[in-house]
């Protein structure tokens, strides 16, 4: 865990980023994008900014690559879930667990 100043900085950066991305989400349709824009991008940017400030560019680049690989994994998982659920032979909970 970080120092009090680091925690306060994380809080402030995260709050600002969530507010900006939520405002962007309100612009686009459907409104379900507001939640998607308000969560992951803001947390990722705050994390990368702090990683860069604390550990330098090489560490932040590793963090960024890890986030991109996680994003690809999420797309693969989502595609697998959607494919299993559309068949209607498998309950949603089982498809999500199997994927």
How far, in Å, CA of 34 to CA of 96, rounded?
A: 24
Joined together, the tokens standing for residue 6 give: 């680091």
Burial 78-97 (b: 16+ CB within 10 A, else e): eeebeebbeeeeeeeeebee
Q: Is the dihedral of CA 40, 24, 14, 44 positive or negative?
A: positive
The number of beta carbons lying within 10 Å of the beta carbon of residue 17 is 19
Q: How confident is the model at residue 59 (pLDDT cuts 50, 70, 90)?
A: very high
pLDDT of res. 36: 65
pTM over 0.85: no
């Amino acid at each position: 865990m970080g120092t009090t100043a680091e925690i306060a900085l994380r809080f402030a950066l995260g709050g600002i980023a969530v507010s900006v991305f939520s405002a962007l989400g309100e612009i686009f349709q459907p409104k379900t994008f507001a939640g998607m824009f308000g969560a992951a991008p803001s947390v990722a940017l705050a994390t990368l900014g702090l990683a860069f400030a604390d550990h330098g560019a090489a560490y932040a680049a590793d963090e960024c690559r890890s986030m991109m690989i996680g994003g690809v994994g999420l797309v693969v998982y989502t595609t697998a879930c959607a494919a299993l659920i559309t068949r209607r032979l498998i309950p949603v909970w089982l498809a999500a667990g199997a994927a």
